[in-house]
Chain A
Amino acid sequence: LAKTTQPISMDSYEGQEVNITCSHNNIATNDYITWYQQFPSQGPRFIIQGYKTKVTNEVASLFIPADRKSSTLSLPRVSLSDTAVYYCLVGDFHTGGFKTIFGAGTRLFVKA
């Protein structure tokens, strides 16, 4: 089962680009990488999902190197409202069952 490692916390300032890296050394061939955002007292919210190379949507980009042992969530021009916990998940539904576990998460603090 792929385990993920993320920085516990990060600080940034408004308007900066933030990159949060997740390590997943034993990612399986069928595993996808998914990121969620969670604000206090709310459920997590899906940000982005990818398998390899680069994925971009309206809120973020996800960079995945060829070996897929890590991934980087990139948030362009963060604002105060991006202060939240960001979770990296690695897994998928395999024949043997559902294998997706939330990592410990990275607490991002965006300062004015």
Chain B
Amino acid sequence: DAMVIQNPRYQVTQFGKPVTLSCSQTLNHNVMYWYQQKSSQAPKLLFHYYDKDFNNEADTPDNFQSRRPNTSFCFLDIRSPGLGDAAMYLCATSRGRTSGYNEQFFGPGTRLTVL
């Protein structure tokens, strides 16, 4: 089945220690998104790629970076995790960005714990 895969499902890191979360997709979608979701809150978009074009949200901290080496993979790098970065990180994909093409398919998420 075509899907969005996130690894690992659970990640523990130390305060200030860089961490990378990965996402892969078999849907061959053009757009990949990264969201942060804290407990009992709605998902918050961090950034997205349209093909190789990176689009950062204005309020996304510089501590968060992303890479998309090819269509299938996208990575979220947190350069110096703080306690406030503990959250579920969701990866999603869509065929396009405009309505009719922007139905997002989400992965199961990676729960990040910062000690």
- Contact assessment for A97 and B55 in the assembled complex, using a CB-CB cutoff below 8 Å: yes
Q: Chain A: interface residue count, which band? A: 20 to 34
> In the complex, how many residue pairs between chain A and chain B have their CB atoms under 8 Å apart?
58
Chain A at the B interface: SS class: strand
B92 in the interface (beta carbon within 8 A) = yes
- How many residues does chain B have at the interface if contact means C-beta atoms less than 8 Å apart? 25
Cα of A48 to Cα of B91 in the assembled complex, Å: 20
- Contact assessment for A92 and B98 in the assembled complex, using a CB-CB cutoff below 8 Å: yes
Please give the distance in Å from B44's CB to the nearest CB on chain A: 7
Contacts of A103 in B (CB 8 A): 42
Please give the distance in Å from B39's CB to the nearest CB on chain A: 11
List B residues 96-115 near A (Cβ within 8 Å). 97-100, 102-109, 111
- Contact assessment for B102 and A92 in the assembled complex, using a CB-CB cutoff below 8 Å: yes
The 3 closest A-B pairs by CB, nearest first: A43-B106, A93-B97, A102-B42
- Interface set of B (CB-CB < 8 Å, partner A): 4, 41-45, 48, 55, 88, 90-92, 97-100, 102-109, 111
